[in-house]
Amino acid sequence: MKFGKRLKQQIEQSLPGWRDKYLSYKRLKKLVRLISSSAMVDDGSLSLDCSKAEAEFICVLNDEIDKFNGFFMEQEEDFVIRHKELPQRIQEMIDKYGPNGTHPSDVEFKKEMSKIRKDIVDFHGEMVLLINYSNINYTGLAKILKKYDKRTGGVLRLPFIQKVLEQPFFTTDLISKLIKDCEATIESMSMFPPSQRLHTEMELGMAAGEGIFQNTVAALLRMHEMRQGSSTYSHFSLPPLNLPDFDVIQSLQVPSPIQIP
């Protein structure tokens, strides 16, 4: 699948508030075509139209980096705050509805636990989507710069990618850690006594299957797919995957309906 189509698909499957935060790939492609199709003047220098398009191309690239960084850092800050609130919320539930709580109740405990677990799964999914956001925008930049160098004979790709590697939106270590912590929290919730768990595995699956979960699975599949497209590694390759255990993701999926022959 061509990158432009993949990016469009990704945007359509993303959260509504995120859709204008992705790379303006179509605009950049148009500028590359304009630059490469503009004729040289007689002395071998670039035509005026070409020079303007080239300047606009560089300007758009820099604006895109600023857009990525602003959005990524805003989401990252929000995720850190939400992550810190999780243990407190779980403890409050235990203190109120647990066996030794102020208002012990198996029914309320299960109900509140279901709500919290669903929120954690959705939170986990949002963070996976943010890593995917970083990955797909990086990929788009690398591809458009490769196209630029190939069509214009320029050498913009290497210095610009080196700049990108130092940007906040490219650095996903903190988000990856928060994802792992979320998985540990989900796992710890499964260790409650049987009487305090959700009623069935189906209920667990339904709690996880709502919200953004399907988008999360699609994003993970796409990230794996993007890395399978090339067997070689270079300076421009995607950063190594540092993602949640895919088995953990799959374990949260809604069980498939039983097929009756």
Rounded CA-CA distance 182/225 in Å is 24
Give the burial class of 46: count Cβ atoms within 10 A of its Cβ; 0-12 exposed, 13-18 middle, 19 or more buried. Answer: middle
166: which residues sit within 8 A by CB, 6+ positions away?
none
Give CA separation, 185 vs 84, 104, 108, in Å. 12, 22, 20
Could you read off the pLDDT of 143-198 as tens digits, one per residue? 999 999 998 888 899 999 999 999 999 999 999 999 999 888 888 876 565 555 44
DSSP string, 188-222: HHTTS-GGGS-S-HHHHHHHHHSTTHHHHHHHHHH
Rounded CA-CA distance 239/135 in Å is 8
Contact 97, 124 (CB under 8 A): no
pLDDT of residue 47: 61
Could you read off the pLDDT of 199-258 as tens digits, one per residue? 433 344 444 444 555 566 566 666 556 555 544 345 555 544 444 444 544 444 433 332
Determine the length of the chain.
Answer: 261
Nearest to 169 by CA among 190, 139, 209, 199: 139
Nearest to 126 by CA among 237, 220, 216, 186: 216
For residue 173, how many other CB atoms are within 10 A of its CB?
8
Map tokens 């499957």 to a residue.
Answer: 13
Rounded CA-CA distance 83/67 in Å is 24
Rounded CA-CA distance 118/121 in Å is 5
Map tokens 């988008």 to a residue.
Answer: 215
Could you read off the pLDDT of 223-234 as tens digits, one per residue? 556 555 544 345
Task: Indicate the pTM of the whole model.
Answer: 0.77
Map tokens 């069980």 to a residue.
Answer: 255
